[in-house]
Amino acid sequence: MTLTPDESLAIKLRDAVKAVSGVKLPQLPGDLAQLQQELQSRFVNSYSVAQIIDKDTTLAGEVLTLINSPVMKINVEVRSIREAVEMLGLDNIRNLLISAVLKRLFGNDLLYKDIMEHSVDVAFCMADLSEWVAGVSRDEAYMLGLFHNGGALMLATKDPHGYLKLFSQSHSLPLTVIEKERARYGSDHATIGVLLGKRWNLPVDMLSAIMLHHVDKCASIQNDKVRAYVALLKIANAIVSEISFGAYRGDEMRDYEQDGLDELMISEPIIREIRLALMSYNVKD
Ligand SMILES: [Fe+2]
């Protein structure tokens, strides 16, 4: 019996649910859920959006820090959420908010330290790389980078000792590690990440990119936007594994990165510049 793509996706997601049974998928905090509703309404009001964000002063501060950081490369200082909403637009603010919430939820726990540091660096590289891809904004690339290994956070919650060892292997063996995860958990962090992304209402193209970010060949992806997202993720993962984690760069990681580079036709001097930017970004941290 041959399964349709929808049927095989349903089976994969069912296996992912089983793999993390007992792990609570975090919800967006109440205010943000309200904000999602506001953003989805037909007559969205930027004033009330700014008001909802301002109610949570810590979150508002985190969003402003992000906006004024090298991630966004904005040349003027943005001092209020109202100003930020006007300058960047609502979709972009939403991406930065979700990024700030994810950082807050997982950024302070030692268990998630390696995964989160890796994701923050991938997010930074993604923002820089997005300059070379038409139709992908810095905040969108940043959010995807931050979110793409959400499934790894869930697996680390489920199996703290076992999973982190596997995660460290992903820096050199991006394809093998998915097979190992499937053998051990019956699913993998890419598929499990879709569950978290769905829960947070991420756009469908991002969900697909999360699912496919360990794919062997970008050419197998039909949707242009998803293919570009995955190519960005592959390049950013390779840069971060080498620069931030000092991982051994064997053939598997080299091929994984090269596939992304071929897809986006990004040249070596640009990658060198992004490596240097990541190094100075880490030093500042
Ligand atoms: Fe991954």
H-type alpha helices, 42-129: 46-55, 57-67, 81-88, 90-106, 113-129
What is the pLDDT, as a whole number, of residue 18?
97
d(CA 123, CA 6): 30
- Give the end-to-end CA distance of the chain in Å, rounded to a whole number: 53
Instruction: Report the separation in Å between the CA atom of 36 and the middle of ligand 1, taken as the mean of its atom positions.
Output: 26
pLDDT digits (tens, 9 = 90+) for 170-195: 999 999 999 999 999 999 999 999 99
What is the pLDDT, as a whole number, of residue 281?
79
Residues 242 and 117 in one domain: yes
Residues 209 and 250 in one domain: yes
Which residue range is the domain that position 88 belongs to? 28-106
d(CA 80, CA 276): 31
Residues 76 and 38 in one domain: yes
Instruction: Report the separation in Å between the CA atom of 43 and the middle of ligand 1, taken as the mean of its atom positions.
Output: 37
Residues 90 and 115 in one domain: no
Residues 64 and 135 in one domain: no
Instruction: Report the separation in Å between the CA atom of 84 and the middle of ligand 1, taken as the mean of its atom positions.
Output: 31
Instruction: Report the separation in Å between the CA atom of 182 and the middle of ligand 1, taken as the mean of its atom positions.
Output: 13
Instruction: Report the separation in Å between the CA atom of 21 and the middle of ligand 1, taken as the mean of its atom positions.
Output: 20
Query: Is position 201 within any domain?
Result: yes
Residues 147 and 238 in one domain: yes
Do 142 and 103 form a contact (C-beta atoms < 8 A)? no
What is the pLDDT, as a whole number, of residue 58?
87
Instruction: Report the separation in Å between the CA atom of 146 and the middle of ligand 1, taken as the mean of its atom positions.
Output: 11
4: burial class by Cβ within 10 Å (0-12, 13-18, 19+)?
exposed
What sign for the dihedral angle of Cα 133, 137, 142, 147?
negative
Q: Where a domain ends, among 106, 134, 159? A: 106
pLDDT digits (tens, 9 = 90+) for 113-152: 999 999 999 999 999 999 999 999 999 999 999 999 999 9
Which regions in the chain score pLDDT beneath 70? 1, 283-285
Query: Is position 19 within any domain?
Result: no
d(CA 208, CA 204): 6
Instruction: Report the separation in Å between the CA atom of 5 and the middle of ligand 1, taken as the mean of its atom positions.
Output: 22
Residues 83 and 179 in one domain: no
Instruction: Report the separation in Å between the CA atom of 214 and the middle of ligand 1, taken as the mean of its atom positions.
Output: 6
Instruction: Report the separation in Å between the CA atom of 1 and the middle of ligand 1, taken as the mean of its atom positions.
Output: 31
Give residue for tokens 């509703």: 37
What is the pLDDT, as a whole number, of residue 40?
76
Instruction: Report the separation in Å between the CA atom of 92 and the middle of ligand 1, taken as the mean of its atom positions.
Output: 24
Instruction: Report the separation in Å between the CA atom of 252 and the middle of ligand 1, taken as the mean of its atom positions.
Output: 14
Query: Is position 58 within any domain?
Result: yes
d(CA 236, CA 260): 9
Query: Is position 120 within any domain?
Result: yes
Instruction: Report the separation in Å between the CA atom of 188 and the middle of ligand 1, taken as the mean of its atom positions.
Output: 9
Residues 50 and 89 in one domain: yes
Give pTM, 2 decimals: 0.93
